Amino acid sequence: MRPILFEIFGLEIKAYGFFIALGFLFAIRLAVHFAKKEDADPELVYDLSLYLLLAGVLGARFLEVVVNYKDYIQRPLDIFAIWKGGLTYYGGLIAAVFVSIYYMKKKKMDFFLYADICAPSLALGLMFGRIGCFFAGCCYGRVAPPGSLCVTFTHPLTFASPRGVCLYPTQLYEAGAAFLIFLVLLLIKKYKTFKGQPFILFFLLYAPVRIGLEFLRNDVRGEYFNGMISTSQLIGIPLIIVGLAYYFYLRKKNRLT
């Protein structure tokens, strides 16, 4: 599509970074809005968001390097070349969750109060991130059969491969799914029956979507069991099982009266 959106005084503004930044700004503003409505401290949300941004980037890069360690052993300096691409979403998400648990415990915050406040923002940020992926050409899909809804990437800097061939727009599929999850979480958040419900539902809704989309993806993202399952599927399947168990546990423990 358009990996470089525009230039300012000779500085190239890359689409992926631009949409990631835009998503972060929208996500934090939404979380602060909900914090004010629910008598939570918006300043803590601002502070937490900065830690989560850092944890998300480092965690996403860490998992990317672990999954593709053979490539990085040959080019170790590329580990730090984040601008070349290579961020694995689940790595960032998991790192962000652990950092948020530590931070909220340290600040004596109600974890599920703030987690529910931030849940819709997770989906909103993901949507913007996948739009950035579409422009950059990363996270691209398989070659689509004739007559399919597909996109041809032709820009010489695109990450998509092969160029000039119609591919499934998996980035847009996931962006659309993230937007639907965002709408569902807004509704659930308004009518939730227990603390933690929107937060856990984000994982339960996203994991099946990601598992399904992995079958259409064609970028390098780690394969196991003779190529039958990808890294995200390997994480997503137990995530659903644990998420369901935790959902029913919280429904019994944290029911609102």
Domain ranges of the chain: 4-253
Contact 48, 114 (CB under 8 A): yes
**CA pair distance 112, 118, nearest whole angstrom:** 10
pLDDT surpassing 90 at residue 211: yes
Lowest mean pLDDT among 62-66, 132-136, 181-185: 62-66
pLDDT surpassing 80 at residue 181: yes
pLDDT of residue 51: 93
pLDDT of residue 85: 65
pLDDT of residue 84: 64
Say which amino acid occupies 126.
L
Which range has the top average pLDDT, 10-14, 179-183, 191-195?
179-183
pLDDT surpassing 80 at residue 71: no
pLDDT digits (tens, 9 = 90+) for 72-86: 888 887 787 776 667
pLDDT of residue 79: 81
pLDDT bin (cut points 50, 70, 90) of residue 257 is: low
Task: Please give the helix or strand (H or E) that residue 5 lies within, else none.
Answer: strand 4-8
pLDDT of residue 226: 77
For 3: left if phi > 0, alpha if psi spans -120 to 50, otherwise beta; the answer is alpha
pLDDT of residue 158: 92
Lowest mean pLDDT among 7-11, 38-42, 47-51, 54-58: 7-11
Query: What is the number of other CB atoms lying within 10 angstroms of the CB of residue 223?
Result: 14
